[in-house]
Structure 1
Amino acid sequence: MNNTDVLIVGAGPVGLTVAIVLKQLGHDVTVLDAQAEGANTSRAAVVHAHTVELLERYGVAEPLVERGVHTPTFTIRDRDRLLVPVPFHGLPTRYPYTLMISQADTEAFLLTRLKELGAEVLRPCPVTKVEQDLQRVTVTLEDGRVLHAGYLVGADGIHSTVREQSGIGFTGGTYAESFTLADVRLSGGVPHNEVILYFSPAGLVVVAPLPGGLHRIVAIVDDAPRDPSIAFVQALLNKRGPEKQPAIVHEVLWGSRFRVHHRVAETFRKGRVLLAGDAAHVHSPAGGQGMNLGIEDAVSLGETLARVLDGDSPALLDSYAGIRRPVAEKVVALASRLTGLANATSARRPLRNLVLGLAGKIPAVRRRLAWQLSGLDRRRNMPFR
């Protein structure tokens, strides 16, 4: 354990994916996580087509596809009015849909695959210090243990210790509003085969199906409660969701609140330290890109590191950083635009709806959005393919 090819800090979907790629390609990895056990809550719930394609070659796509809900359409609506339909069924992929699945399930499938490949996650192992020289990275844990690795991957989230200890800036800002998140049982006028971004004068709400007949609710609110109640979620849907046939909330199984940042790390590589996922970029959940972008980072980084460990030039790692950072900036900008549209003032709402309604009738616009949201437009940003 004290010496490894690659030390990965963070055992969420991003860290686990990096580890799977490297193990399958024949390299030693050690995965650390600060938590005593993996979280069992939903959190991210959207897996897009490009992400499933990437995971296919690493033995994870099949269980995800079997477990998740296949939603062939993403729509932007203003209450009952359909503004922009974004169908995925015509895309050139084996997975022409958005796959809705709990992040807990995604992590469980990734962890199962990692164990099949002969690796484990070491918990709880908080990192307190990161140092590097020309030959290796040295990591000190909270309990005093010292580990050495050829390379260190920071996949430890928005408050990344690896990023902070490495002196990498994380520029951007924070949305003034808070977000509420809940997994609920509901009935009524919400389609079961769509991921819906509802616009309204009261603000944004996202409604999406999950396995087991559940729905994921995400909304921008001024002051989100820690544990959203049935009454709170019902009030959100009454003000922002369908009107002619209202959605009725019967049960809240889990809920949370969070603040959303829009930030990108100043660099994704500093010597032998590399960043991926939320440690490198964070943004609004509009469009469901966060975990998908992180898994793309993970596959790209894992494959690049494997090449370097096999003898290729370490300069390849600059290519990883140089390609992935502009991709992250583009996705952060897309999520910000969607959030800005959703938060349009009442005075601007009629013009916004007119423009979106007209744009939504243009096939080229719908196709472009489908390519962007599915991640297929980022295929060209992956190395060695």
Structure 2
Amino acid sequence: MGLYTAILLAQSGIEVEVLERRSVRSSHSRAIGIHPPALAALEQAGVAEALIAAGVQIPGGIARSRGRTVAELSFACLPGPHRYVLAIPQEQTERILSERLTELAPNALRRGETVEAVHDVGTGVVTVTDHRTYRSALLIGADGARSTVRSAAGIRAKVRPYPDAYVMGDFPDTTGDGSTAALYLESDGIVESFPLPGGVRRWVVRMPSLVENPTAGTVAGLVAERTGVAVDTRNNTMLSSFAVRRRIADRFIEGRIALVGDAAHEVSPIGGQGMNLGWLDAAQLVPLVVDSLAGTDVGLGLRRFNEERRRAALAASRQAHINMMLGRPLPSALLTARNRIMGRVAGLPTVHDAVARTFTMH
């Protein structure tokens, strides 16, 4: 979020500094899906073309259960030019954003800087890291769910935990599904798979509790047990496990401090909305920042930003909650009945198109 926000500001002639705790870019990619509205926002930063070239376009999905097709979903009905979800590892997205920021502001990215304290002094903001002190007219916190900036600004963000946990991994694609996403609705819980560049597929498995230190064999065994798909463990490139919680800040603006991304709203990654929400936050915030620094009164615009982006975060949270409910374990008889209803309803064109728009954040 910080890189994208800085790019938009730099393009507008604003001097920026990005303080990044990590000394090197992480190779661990959790977020992978870029939805059409976010891709349109990324066009503003001049990076959409590079991202599209590096990613896989997912034109739709298929839901299966016990080896049979329950429903199919096509994104061909979507408005605009991007009628797909773009799948690209987060590491590649960050690389492309970093390169674009370097083009605009070669010295803006300051790696290895951990923010320890933030002080809004009325005429500006003083940010203290483990290495030095920075002074700026404004500060935008894009420092994640456990945001130091949010805490320093005195903004409350109540945490709501969910009883859902997942384990995931990236493996060579052995499914034959090509660029289609697949959801396996099974009695023990959902299994999801998404294509990635280079003939790789991500598998996400719903678990009853958090899996500590997952192995490639663990994930492959779960996938095979629930779906019947054999996963090649020899070239596994990523493993992760996570629990789910919701955390939405009471407000996204406090004095000269603003929040975007997970610092403002942490939602379940199931559905892939969190990263996209952050980019849309920045796209709405940056014009207000530019106008403010030029001396324009943006009080009304900031109130609208706060209301609209919180509303968007709450809507994404509700959708993620529905997604998780659909993926929870069900007794066989209930699963059969639900799948039958889902199949019939999904066949209705109006319902199909509404679901496609919802799942792509339209």
What TM-score do you get using the length of structure 2 for normalisation?
0.93
Distance in 2 separating the partners of 1:191 and 1:101: 17
Q: 236, 240, 252: which is aligned to 1:268?
A: 252
Secondary structure of the 1:278 match is: helix
Distance in 1 separating the partners of 2:99 and 2:187: 44
Secondary structure of the 1:284 match is: coil
1:43-192 correspondence runs (5 A):
43-119=30-106, 120-143=108-131, 145-188=132-175, 191-192=177-178
2:111 maps to a residue whose letter is R
1:85-110 Cα offsets, whole Å, 9 max, x none, are: 22112322222111110000000000
The yes-or-no answer on 1:237 pairing with 2:223 is yes
Mean alpha-carbon deviation: is it higher for 343-352 or for 145-154?
Answer: 343-352
Mean alpha-carbon deviation: is it higher for 219-228 or for 150-159?
Answer: 219-228
| Greater than 6 Å deviation, 4+ residue runs | none
In 2, are the aligned partners of 1:305 and 1:317 still within 8 Å (CA)?
A: no
Query: Using a 3 Å threshold, how does the CA distance of structure 1 residues 79 and 152 change in structure 2: closer, same or farther?
Result: farther
2:295 maps to a residue whose letter is G
Distance in 1 separating the partners of 2:184 and 2:296: 48
**Structure 1, unpaired ranges of 5+:** 1-13, 378-385
- Percent identity between the aligned chains? 33
Deviation, structure 1 residue 224: 4.5
In 2, are the aligned partners of 1:174 and 1:262 still within 8 Å (CA)?
A: yes
Query: Using a 3 Å threshold, how does the CA distance of structure 1 residues 47 and 79 change in structure 2: closer, same or farther?
Result: farther
What TM-score do you get using the length of structure 1 for normalisation?
0.88
In 2, are the aligned partners of 1:72 and 1:97 still within 8 Å (CA)?
A: yes
Deviation, structure 1 residue 269: 1.0
Distance in 2 separating the partners of 1:21 and 1:89: 30
Distance in 1 separating the partners of 2:344 and 2:266: 31
Q: 326, 330, 354: which is aligned to 2:340?
A: 354
1:252-285 Cα offsets, whole Å, 9 max, x none, are: 1221222221121111111111111111112222
1:28-47 correspondence runs (5 A):
28-47=15-34
2:231 maps to a residue whose letter is I
Distance in 2 separating the partners of 1:186 and 1:74: 16
2:124 maps to a residue whose letter is R
Query: Using a 3 Å threshold, how does the CA distance of structure 1 residues 326 and 27 change in structure 2: closer, same or farther?
Result: same
1:60-102 Cα offsets, whole Å, 9 max, x none, are: 0001011101110033332433333221123222221111100
Mean alpha-carbon deviation: is it higher for 212-221 or for 128-137?
Answer: 128-137
The yes-or-no answer on 1:308 pairing with 2:278 is no
**Structure 2, unpaired ranges of 5+:** none
Secondary structure of the 2:202 match is: strand
Distance in 2 separating the partners of 1:71 and 1:61: 16
Mean alpha-carbon deviation: is it higher for 38-47 or for 366-375?
Answer: 366-375
Q: Which residue of 1 aligns with 2:265?
A: 281
Mean alpha-carbon deviation: is it higher for 212-221 or for 251-260?
Answer: 251-260
1:27-71 Cα offsets, whole Å, 9 max, x none, are: 111100112222112110111111111111221000101110111
Mean alpha-carbon deviation: is it higher for 247-256 or for 60-69?
Answer: 247-256
Distance in 2 separating the partners of 1:155 and 1:229: 31
Matched pairs, number: 358
Q: Which residue of 2 aligns with 1:324?
A: 309
Query: Using a 3 Å threshold, how does the CA distance of structure 1 residues 300 and 234 change in structure 2: closer, same or farther?
Result: same
Secondary structure of the 2:232 match is: strand
1:278 maps to a residue whose letter is D
